[in-house]
Amino acid sequence: MLPFSGIENPYKIGAYSVDTNAKVLQRYRFVHDGLVRLAAGQLPARENWDLKLTLAKHIYEDAEATDELRNRIRELRSSQASLQQAPDAALSLLLEELIHAQNDLELLVGIYEVVRPALLATYQKHMSTTQQIVDQPTIRILRTIVLDLEAQIQWGNEMIASLRAEGEAHEGLDEFKRNLQSLLAAAGGIDGAETKSTELPRRWRSQQTYQLPMKSVRDPKKMGPTTWARTSVPNLPDDAVQQRLVMMMRVRQEEMTAVELIAAVLYAQQNMPWEFYHDLARHLWDEARHSMFGQAALEAAGFDWMHQPQYTSDYDVNVHKIPGVKYTWLSIGIEEGAMKRTGKRAEYEFCRDEAKHPLMTQFQDYDWADEVVHANLGRKWTPELLGEDIEFVRTVAQHELDHFWEEVQNAQQQWMKTQSGA
């Protein structure tokens, strides 16, 4: 179709004025932003490995959606301040109840059977009923979000079916789902277009504030126990170069602990600009990808990593620290520290020149690139988090590293003792 740049139905009046459009987009933004935060709060507490990795991916995708919606809302005669507001009490309560999911299946059903299908249906309606010329910039954004939503829902459905097949379903699950559905109905749906209830629902579990776990969780049925010591994998090769390579794969795989640390910061740190949460969503997804680098390399080489003890020190040793100190420890202490000649570059060159392992060489090449970005994120945000300049922050980071290595070395010695005693 040549006229109107291929835009269909150019003469048709649309369903949204500028004001109503801004109003519904605020609600969409609020839900994606809420999903970012609640998934971050839940991630360290969840058991299933594939679920943990996927929460990280979807946190990143929801943060991208939030960012695009915020930009579009500002084009619709809306103030910057309006982007901080909660548009609907029932929608707020929906997200506040959802973060109280008590197991993997509850969280999955809440996100992938209640919230995301409602988002998808709303965006399909929006794209087809809005005036196609005036609202083309919104349509373009929603189309990309719909692509993500379709893939997310499909993944969620498969995961739910798999956990149900393993007998994970329990009695309270239906009640949890019904509660969330009634909250969504009370809000008049995602866009508030359905009849809203004047009888606002009561709090259920959200009477208590959600607490991050004090210890990382790993799947007790499928994985080894959590540990603060670095452990190996069975059938380690005799050759020293090959040993170092396999241990590098294993350290990558265990970066889940960094994912959880950033998730805790993203969830708990209040009152930062949106850009901070957007950056951390990406940082967190990068660490989940690094974890997959290790998983993929170990599996491709035939090593069993899943039944081995799982290193969780990044989260567990730092759990009592305030979010700003947690982020300083990671981004300045560890990640800026890895920019030395002996750090990320050396790992990449080792894989390329000594181990001569093409897959790990490629992984470490990108790992190094990501870590350059992460060290920059540290320099960008830690001074604001601590209210001090970068030199002060670096001293804090050194202090925190000393404490961390002391704890980890103690754990390592304990582990060696149990190994030699066995």
- Beta strand 310-311 with 226-227 is parallel
Closest distance between Fe ion and the C-beta of residue 331, in Å? 8
Tell me whether residue 88 or residue 336 sits nearer to Fe ion (CB atom): 336
Q: What is the DSSP letter of 83?
A: G
CA gap 193, 88 in Å, rounded:
12
- One-character DSSP codes across 290-317: HHHHHHHHHHHTT---TTS-EE-HHHHH
Closest distance between Fe ion and the C-beta of residue 368, in Å? 10
Closest distance between Fe ion and the C-beta of residue 258, in Å? 6
Closest distance between Fe ion and the C-beta of residue 286, in Å? 6
CA gap 347, 182 in Å, rounded:
52
Q: Write out the two tokens for 228.
A: 């603060």
Single residue of 40, 374, 404, 411 touching Fe ion by CB under 5 A: 374
Query: Interface residues for Fe ion in 157-216 (CB under 5 A)?
Result: none
CB burial of residue 167 (10 Å; 0-12, 13-18, 19+)? exposed
CA gap 360, 362 in Å, rounded:
5
CA gap 350, 179 in Å, rounded:
54
Single residue of 27, 32, 290, 326 touching Fe ion by CB under 5 A: 290
- Position 326 contacts Fe ion (CB under 5 A): no
Mark the segment that binds Fe ion (CB under 5 A) among 17-25, 115-123, 152-160, 370-378.
370-378
Can you name the residues that pair with 310 across neighbouring β-strands? 226
Closest distance between Fe ion and the C-beta of residue 89, in Å? 38
Query: Please, are residues 131 and 14 in contact by the beta-carbon 8 Å criterion?
Result: yes
CA gap 208, 8 in Å, rounded:
50
Tell me whether residue 106 or residue 287 sits nearer to Fe ion (CB atom): 287
CA gap 138, 29 in Å, rounded:
12
Query: Interface residues for Fe ion in 132-161 (CB under 5 A)?
Result: none
CA gap 184, 102 in Å, rounded:
20
Tell me the number of residues near Fe ion by CB under 5 A.
Answer: 6
Q: Site map for Fe ion, 231-260, x if CB under 5 A?
A: ------------------------x-----
Closest distance between Fe ion and the C-beta of residue 237, in Å? 24
Closest distance between Fe ion and the C-beta of residue 281, in Å? 14
Mark the segment that binds Fe ion (CB under 5 A) among 6-14, 145-153, 203-211, 280-288.
280-288
Tell me whether residue 115 or residue 325 sits nearer to Fe ion (CB atom): 325
Residues that bind Fe ion (CB under 5 A): 255, 287, 290, 335, 371, 374
